[in-house]
Amino acid sequence: MSRVAREVAIVAFAQTRHTAHDTGLSEPELILPVIEEVKALTGQKRFGFTCSGSCDYLAGAPFSFVSALDAVGAWPPISESHVEMDGAWALYEAWVRLQHGDVDTALVYGFGKSSQGDLRAIMTLQLDPYYLAPLGLDQLSYAALQASALGAGRAELDAIARRSRADGRRNPYALDLPEELPDGYAVEPLKASDVAPITDGAAAVVLAAGDRARELCATPAWITGIAHRIEPHYLGLRDLSRSPSAADAGRAAGVGKGPVDVAELHAQFAHEEPILRRALDLPDDTVINPSGGPLAANPVMAAGLIRLGEAARRIHDGSARRTVGHAASGPCLQHNLVTVLEA
């Protein structure tokens, strides 16, 4: 017997002013301002559920999320959970938790400091240890294989990079990247401008259900569809020029059931944008990543959550009626989460 999902909306969103270097702040110090901001936006001091997304490899310590709870205030005791993934998946867990019906609000946050280590080496640790990791290829090398499989032209990739940087310069939270694109390849066929920059940052979102959402926000961004799908880990089993998991998640979330004013895509490499546009079957008039997207600021473990938050912000400020927020995880768009938000 099918059950109608409980109404849940994003009612507040905040993010740090991201940096390309370590400013000396610890993770709790990085998170605290954005949590305080969403508390101020909603007038809430406590929430029915709290969920975070982060990566111990980035922090260089096990259970690093525990120390981050200093920014939340874990006393009196709170109902708390954590995912070793981007904060977008923490939002998914919080959405599921609100479906239970016994709590009405949830705090979600994600954070990461990529500047403290070699991100290419760190992300290689996510690979299957038996078949893929021994090959010695890293995240950027796999992305270059995917770009080659897609066969995107240099003019198209440069146009995406220039647009992302220009939008990012208008976004006070993104990095101030130069208009001129660098010469030379990072890993052929990808230039450095095709690759998301090293970024430190954090973001927080508040979810609320039903009438509680209407009380906390004048224009809630209602989650009318949310789904995530995953593909095989082994790249040899996949057609890297396509993203079936993004397409499946988009259909399950109902992307095609109406117009899409804005889509915030978690494309960490320029060639991923056309793959995702096709997978989600986005109309030509959909505005892609007006925030600048990950090519303008990419705080790992928060960048996907920021895509959902930016998509919600367009509804909060009245500039859009229906938006899509997307997050990705794993090599070559292996795992995709798609959220449809409506006014």
Could you read off the pLDDT of 280-303 as tens digits, one per residue? Answer: 999 999 999 999 999 999 999 999
Estimate to the nearest angstrom the gap between the alpha carbon of 35 and the chain centroid. 17
Same domain, 163 and 204: no
CA distance 332 to 145: 9
pLDDT band at 2 (very low <50, low <70, confident <90, very high): very low
pLDDT band at 311 (very low <50, low <70, confident <90, very high): very high
Q: What is the mean pLDDT of residues 154-178?
A: 97
Residue 126 domain-assigned (yes or no): no
Same domain, 39 and 160: no
Which of 169, 185, 216 is a domain's end point? Answer: 216
Same domain, 87 and 157: no
Residue 38 domain-assigned (yes or no): yes
The sheet carrying 262-264 orders its strands as 80-83, 49-53, 105-113, 200-209, 8-15, 221-230, 335-342, 322-329, 262-264, 287-288
- Write down the residue that tokens 């009612």 correspond to: 11
pLDDT band at 188 (very low <50, low <70, confident <90, very high): very high
Rounded mean pLDDT of the chain?
94
Query: pLDDT for 234-262, tens place per residue?
Result: 888 999 999 999 999 999 999 999 999 99
Report which of residues 182 and 127 the model is more confident about: 182
Q: What is the mean pLDDT of residues 193-221?
A: 97
212-251 core/surface letters (b: 16 or more CB in 10 A; e: else): bbeebbeebbbbbbbbbbebebebeebebbbbebbbbbbb
Task: Transcribe 42-75 into DSSP letters.
Answer: HT-S--SEEEEE--HHHHTSTTHHHHHGGGT---
Q: Is the alpha carbon torsion for 314, 108, 252, 263 positive or negative? A: positive
Task: Find the domain containing 205 and state its range.
Answer: 8-118+198-216
Same domain, 205 and 257: no
Report which of residues 272 and 68 the model is more confident about: 272
CA distance 158 to 302: 25
Residue 35 domain-assigned (yes or no): yes
List the CATH number of the domain containing 256: 3.40.47.10
Residue 113 domain-assigned (yes or no): yes
Report the SS3 class of residue 264: strand
Same domain, 202 and 106: yes
Say what the pLDDT of residue 4 is: 67
Q: What is the mean pLDDT of residues 23-47?
A: 95
Same domain, 169 and 113: no
Say what the pLDDT of residue 64 is: 80
Residue 325 domain-assigned (yes or no): yes
Residue 211 domain-assigned (yes or no): yes
Estimate to the nearest angstrom the gap between the alpha carbon of 234 and the chain centroid. 23
Residues in CB range of 222: below 8 A, 6 or more apart = 7, 8, 9, 213, 341, 342, 343
Same domain, 230 and 246: yes
Query: pLDDT for 85-142, tens place per residue?
Result: 999 999 999 999 999 999 999 999 999 999 988 888 888 877 777 888 888 888 899 9
Same domain, 171 and 294: yes
Q: What is the mean pLDDT of residues 12-23?
A: 97
Closest CA to 35 of 79, 78, 70, 84: 70
Same domain, 255 and 311: yes
Say what the pLDDT of residue 233 is: 84
Residue 127 domain-assigned (yes or no): no
Which of 152, 184, 216 is a domain's end point? Answer: 216
Same domain, 144 and 283: yes
Same domain, 147 and 24: no
Query: Is the confidence at residue 205, as pLDDT, over 90?
Result: yes
Domain total of the chain: 2
Q: Do residues 311 and 296 make contact, with C-beta atoms less than 8 angstroms apart?
A: no
Report the SS3 class of residue 298: coil
- Write down the residue that tokens 């709790």 correspond to: 28
Which of 187, 216, 245 is a domain's end point? Answer: 216
Same domain, 78 and 152: no
Say what the pLDDT of residue 157 is: 97
- Write down the residue that tokens 């979810």 correspond to: 207
pLDDT band at 1 (very low <50, low <70, confident <90, very high): very low
Residue 306 domain-assigned (yes or no): yes
Q: Using a pLDDT cut of 90, give the percent of the chain over it.
A: 82
Looking at residue 324, the DSSP 8-state letter turns out to be E
